[in-house]
Amino acid sequence: MSLVTDPAPRKPRLAVIFGGRSSEHGVSCLTAREVLAAIDTDRYDVRPIGITRAGQWVEESAEWRELEPGTLPSVRDDLPPFALERLSDVDAVFPLLHGPWGEDGTLQGLLELADVRYVGAGVLASAVSMDKPFTKTVFSAAGLPQIPYVTIRPWEWKQDRERVEARIRALGLPLFVKPARAGSSSGVAMVDTWDELDAAVEKARDFDPKVIVESAARGKRELECAVIQQPDGKPVASLVGEITVADESGHEFYDFEAKYLDGTSLNVVPADIPVTLSERIQAYAVQAFEAVGCEGLARVDFFLTDDGLVINEINTMPGFTPYSMFPVLWEASGVPYAELVDRLIQLALQRDTGLR
């Protein structure tokens, strides 16, 4: 008599989506390579999906040869296409896209419509957190301290220049000019004299027609704190870290090249700050996470200035290479990289679809 045994349970199907149409395409690819290497394929059926710079969805592997110094990988456009209907076959998605068309609620909306679980923030939190002026509005309502700023809406720069410039001049010099909806310091410029303003705004508008101008804080130190949700939904904060850029690097601030290309930035964890200040940053990080309605994970960035502590922004899908600040903070807080990735996947698999 033969014994009938139950078949082994099916492994959860996990789609990892990366690349995308934003200026952070290459950073997303770097993140995907490291996350895919950390996922336990004995536990998950992993399906890498790339989105090219032109927006094509393809079946990728995220296996790039050794890169030349100062370069970033890219999703190839000669790979087999991926049909969006196949998303209904997966149990969860890990969306490793940075910037517009991925981190801003657009992909999250697609996944909500398809009734597919995914890692990270939902539609509203993603959209609000990507748009810096809207983020500041929410932070203001939550009572979080911020740097003075001016928003330049797409039509204002061409049609109401005099009024906009008057508002900007009221901030004083120096200034930072940024695209309103971009990350990784793409399109950011520092303005030390008023004759630099026009060029800085046009540079930012190359990335986003909506621009934000901020006062450049005196004596600024860049401090960051990571947040993840527990299985019960409660957000918890990591240790606080500091970003520094080598004096001899030639960078005026922590820009794209310093972050990803020339190795001149350094993560210091824990930051050399008083315990009371660290605890305040951790509390503010959780408060910011809850204010925007975030889920899963976030990195919250702060400036320590001569005038005190201010919150800069919240990033709902931070860089995720082993050297990025988000996993570095959690590694120092006792959560190794592979465990961190698995925790986020488990959160996604366990949460409800639809309204939460």
Give the pLDDT confidence score for residue 264 in this predicted structure: 61
In the structure, what pLDDT confidence band is assigned to residue 286 with cuts at 50, 70 and 90? Answer: very high
Q: What domains does the chain contain, in order, with CATH numbers?
A: 13-120 (3.40.50.20), 129-146+218-350 (3.30.470.20), 149-215 (3.30.1490.20)
The pairs formed by 195-203 with CB atoms below 8 angstroms and a separation of 24 or more are 197/165, 197/168, 200/175, 201/152, 201/157, 201/177, 203/177
- The Cα 321–Cα 251 span in angstroms is 22
Sign (positive/negative) of CA torsion 269, 291, 106, 212? negative
User: What are 54-63's pLDDT values in tens digits?
Assistant: 999 999 998 8
Give the pLDDT confidence score for residue 1 in this predicted structure: 46
For range 263-270, the mean pLDDT: 83
- The Cα 74–Cα 105 span in angstroms is 22
Give the pLDDT confidence score for residue 110 in this predicted structure: 96
Of 350, 330, 349, the closest CA to residue 340 belongs to 330
Give the pLDDT confidence score for residue 263 in this predicted structure: 58
Give the pLDDT confidence score for residue 256 in this predicted structure: 47
pTM for the predicted model, two decimal places: 0.89
Q: Is the peptide bond before 80 cis (omega within 30 degrees of 0)?
A: no
User: What are 3-23's pLDDT values in tens digits?
Assistant: 545 566 789 999 999 999 998
Give the pLDDT confidence score for residue 260 in this predicted structure: 47
- The Cα 107–Cα 180 span in angstroms is 19
- How far apart, in Å, are the Cα atoms of 264 and each of 23, 94, 271, 275? 21, 30, 18, 27
Task: Please state the φ and ψ torsions of residue 152, each to the nearest 5 degrees.
Answer: -110, 105
Question: Per-residue pLDDT for 101 more than 90?
Answer: yes
Q: Please say whether the beta carbons of 333 and 255 come within 8 A.
A: no
